[in-house]
Amino acid sequence: MSLNTFGHLFRVTTWGESHGPALGATVDGCPPGIEIDEAFLQQWLDKRRPGQNKNTTQRQEPDAVRVLSGVFEGRTTGTPIQLMIENTDQRSRDYGEISQTFRPGHADITYHQKYGLRDYRGGGRSSARETAARVAAGGVARAALNALIPGIEIKGYMTRMGELAIDRERFDWDAIDGNDFWVPDTAAAPEWEAYLQRLRKNKNSVGAEVEVVARGLPAGLGAPVYGKLDTDLAAAMMSINAVKGVEIGEGMAAARLTGTENADEIFMGEDGPEYSSNHAGGILGGISTGQDVVVRFAVKPTSSILTPRRSIRLDGSPTEVVTKGRHDPCVGIRAVPVGEAMMACVVLDHFLLHRGQVGEGPRGTIG
């Protein structure tokens, strides 16, 4: 993982700015022979795409992905896969005024301090638009995982938005895809929508918590001690724009538990070891146990709001910033497919790493 590349063997390099001609991902290390077409990738981009309902930004970006290399006659060849998404709805004029101003909560000021110059149009490289490239790469990872780990399922959903949190008692896996918030509770969605519209009208935004689950992984994935599965998941999720916290299984709440409460006791099931609970989030010592791998991350409230915030200009003079553009009141919604994409990339990467170091042959069996 170095600058703009993520992963050990399945390596994703994203490139591009929000208002340049295009952005994309260079995907290296994908196994050969995987069936991929643009429609398969496009479905994940469509899930992330803005402008689909009134709860997200009204920008219209088709976010059509093109595969420029690495796929021949519908199959990956083992060579780099270039995924390009052209930027079409740029409206540079909306952003012209910020070239001299630092928006609070944005990377404007740190990019300036670090690099001495920045593409100020829409955040440039620091725009969440970069995550479209991640989602495209995640689509490649999903295709490979479907071929390599039959039955694997990766799904994200919102577990909190400001004051609202899901009720774990009412958790419905099948409800997730049926509402605009990806909440696992059909009945809750209207309340979430009302809450968000109220915030938007108040010229405000709100944070969110997203959970991503990988189901059906084999035991044994993860490379201790610095390429642990949870280590790489933490890095993957923290690298997403606006993320401020990452949890595995019990997460920060583990600090409140005692040893007897936190223990996941082990039983012998029909197909191997089973556990009484999953406080560990499916990872022990950095290696998957075969249970669900559970990651949660918090996204801060959108910094671009219509309520004025105090800031400074390039020359140090004070100013007030009101960010007018078309912004999501809760970026957490669109962070769901991004979190899924990162999970897919990390899991595939560790599958390949494990296969490389340990092989496919018989490993440690139990019973």
What is the C-alpha separation between 210 and 135, in angstroms, rounded?
16
Q: Is 303 annotated as a binding residue?
A: yes
- Does the annotation flag 288 for ligand binding? no
Contacts 24+ apart (CB under 8 A), 177-181: 180/52, 180/53, 180/55, 180/56, 180/333, 181/55, 181/333
Complex with its own copies: residue 112 or 215, whichever CB lies closer:
112
Q: Which residues contact 359 (CB under 8 A, 6 or more apart)?
A: none
247 binds its own copies (CB under 8 A): yes
Specify the residue, 64 or 235, whose C-beta has the smaller distance to its own copies. 235
- Give dist(CA 182, CA 191) in Å, integer: 13
Joined tokens for residue 42: 């496009």
201 labelled ligand-binding: no
Using left for φ > 0, alpha for ψ between -120 and 50, and beta otherwise, residue 29 falls in: left
Contact set for its own copies, span 167-196 (CB under 8 A): none
Q: Please give the size of the binding site for its own copies, defined by CB under 8 A.
A: 162
Decide whether 209 or 340 has the Cβ nearer to its own copies: 209
Q: Closer to its own copies by CB, 22 or 189: give it.
A: 22
- Continuous segment of H or E residues that includes residue 26: strand 22-28
Q: Does 146 bind its own copies (CB under 8 A)?
A: no
326 annotated ligand binder: yes
Which residue in the block uniquely carries the two structure tokens 């944070």?
Answer: 207
Tell which positions 193-232 bind its own copies, by CB under 8 A: 199, 204-209, 219-228, 230-232
Residues 26-65 that bind its own copies (CB under 8 A): 26, 28-29, 31-33
Separation CA 204–CA 303 (nearest Å): 9
Tell me: does residue 118 bind its own copies (CB under 8 A). yes
Which is nearest to 143 in space by CA: 154, 156, 132?
154
AA identity, residue 225: V
Q: Is 242 annotated as a binding residue?
A: yes
Instruction: Choose, by CB under 8 A, the member of 250, 338, 341, 346 that binds its own copies.
Output: 250
271 contributes a contact to its own copies by CB under 8 A = no
Pick 64 or 254: Cβ nearer its own copies: 254
Least separation in angstroms between CB 278 and its own copies: 12
Using the rule CB under 8 A, give the single segment among 36-44, 73-81, 149-157, 178-186 that binds its own copies.
73-81
